[in-house]
Amino acid sequence: MSQFSRTELLYGQEAMADLSRRRVAIFGVGGVGGYAVEALARSGIGTLDLFDNDTVCLSNLNRQIIATHQTLGMYKVDAAKERILSINPNAAVFTHKLFFMPDTADQVDFSVFDYVIDAIDTVTGKIELVMRASAAGVPIISSMGAGNKKNASAFEVTDIYKTSVCPLAKVMRKELKARGIRHLKVVYSKEIPLKPLPSSEAPQQGRRSTPGSTAFVPSVAGLIIAGEVVNDLTARFV
């Protein structure tokens, strides 16, 4: 019996064998990206590239699957790699301690990936990811705003140009249209973001304030993203 035998009952042996040969890049291994990584590892994706230059801190414990008191201070990509290999020892995991932005984008060869997941926070980085993946002809799915929200059931998958309400999606629509990007698959929510209470925590790099978060909202977004990746990669076997 294979550890992926229950998944194989839905997708078939040929599709599972194909997933084991696939290489997926995840940019941002936090609240959204961490759960996407988890689901991909448990779905038998053969090679995972993890991009994140952040370390696990105390405030990550409320929502990030890689965050425990044992992983505090570790680089997130290293903590995620340990977790992936404890799930699937046969997986190949490449870690990249990289803050992805236009000035670091040349360090990444997008042509080697079968799929790209955008789970980073900065608009500039997200736009560059879309542009690079598009230029390489690699499919990409992007997470829109998951912070300051409580309703996990509001997430949906659509094209960026069909989104509404989400402030991040609004900015992305404008910027991608100006750059000639005609389509982008996204996971987003129409829930109106709440205004977080005052916090003494310093905002992360690229943010003006610290967003509120829960254990159940970003995780759902990450799992939806992973499902889209697996279903897209196996579509030809259906």
Q: pLDDT (tens digit, 9 = 90+) per residue, 57-76?
A: 999 999 999 999 999 999 99
- DSSP at 75: B
Domains of the chain: which residue ranges?
A: 10-198+205-237
Does residue 138 carry a pLDDT above 90? yes
Question: What does the alpha-carbon distance between residue 173 and residue 106 come to, in Å, rounded to a whole number?
Answer: 24
Say what percent of the chain tops pLDDT 70: 97
Write the burial class of residue 211 (CB in 10 Å: 0-12 exposed, 13-18 middle, 19+ buried): middle
Residue reference for tokens 């542009």: 131
pTM: 0.95
Q: What is the pLDDT of residue 196?
A: 92
**For 199-214, how does the pLDDT look when each residue is reduced to its tens digit (9 = 90+)?**
777 666 656 678 999 9
Which pairing describes strands 185-189 and 155-159: parallel, antiparallel, or unpaired? antiparallel
CA separation for the pair 165, 10 (Å, rounded): 35
**Mean pLDDT on 81-95:** 98
Measured CA to CA in angstroms, residue 136 lies from 27, 33, 58, 109, 111 at distances of 16, 22, 37, 9, 6
Outline where DSSP puts E strands in 114-181.
Answer: 115-118, 140-143, 155-159
* Contact of 234 with 20, CB cutoff 8 Å: no
At 190, which amino acid appears? K
Contact 181, 206 (CB under 8 A): no
- For residues 86-96, average pLDDT: 98
Class of 10-198+205-237 per CATH? Answer: alpha beta
